[in-house]
Amino acid sequence: MTFCSMEAPSFMRLDERASSMKLPGRNELALPNSGNYFSHSKSWLVFLSSGPHELNGSEAQAPDGKLTSCGIGAPDVNGDEMRTLLTTSLSLGAPISVRSSPDGKQQVTTWTLSRAGNDFMLILTDGTPTHRSGISLILVHREFKKS
């Protein structure tokens, strides 16, 4: 079952797929469209053999570009193991950023991916600093309008 892949995320396609599978919704936030600005995010529960996970998608637009994302949260995954798996299986190389959250409880690792001239980032957030399992893995696609 694939929801997020290494292509530009489509919020509409993700929402349609989650709806067709009758996945229970968790959170939804939509800011009204005002001119060239809008924002929408939504998450669903996905029940896998390893337990419940949270699928999330978002989209936002402003006059200078658009951002879409697709991600999954898993409470039972070790951050160090996921980082190693991602780095080796996707040949990611060194991340552009590894930092702690302001409260020091999470580590945020960011990689850039170049695909067909578009700007992609892969962001892994995990509980490594506090030795806790649980990750959030998000693929972000940014499209900037040319000036």
CATH (residue range 11-144): 3.30.1460
pLDDT tens-place string over residues 50-83: 788 999 999 999 988 899 999 999 998 899 999 9
Q: Can you tell me the distance from the alpha carbon of 12 to that of 34, in angstroms, rounded to the nearest whole number?
A: 19
Tokens 């702690």 locate to 100
Q: Sorting pLDDT into bands at 50, 70 and 90, what band is 39?
A: very high
Q: What DSSP element (H or E) covers 15?
A: helix 11-20
Domain parsing of the chain, residue ranges: 11-144
pLDDT tens-place string over residues 78-134: 999 999 999 998 888 889 999 999 999 999 999 988 654 558 899 999 998 999 999
**Got the DSSP string for 29-88?**
EEEEEETTEEEEEEEEEEEETTEEEEEEEEEEEETTEEEEEEEEEETT--HHHHHHHHHH
Query: What per-residue confidence (pLDDT) applies to 118?
Result: 59
Q: What is the DSSP letter of 10?
A: -
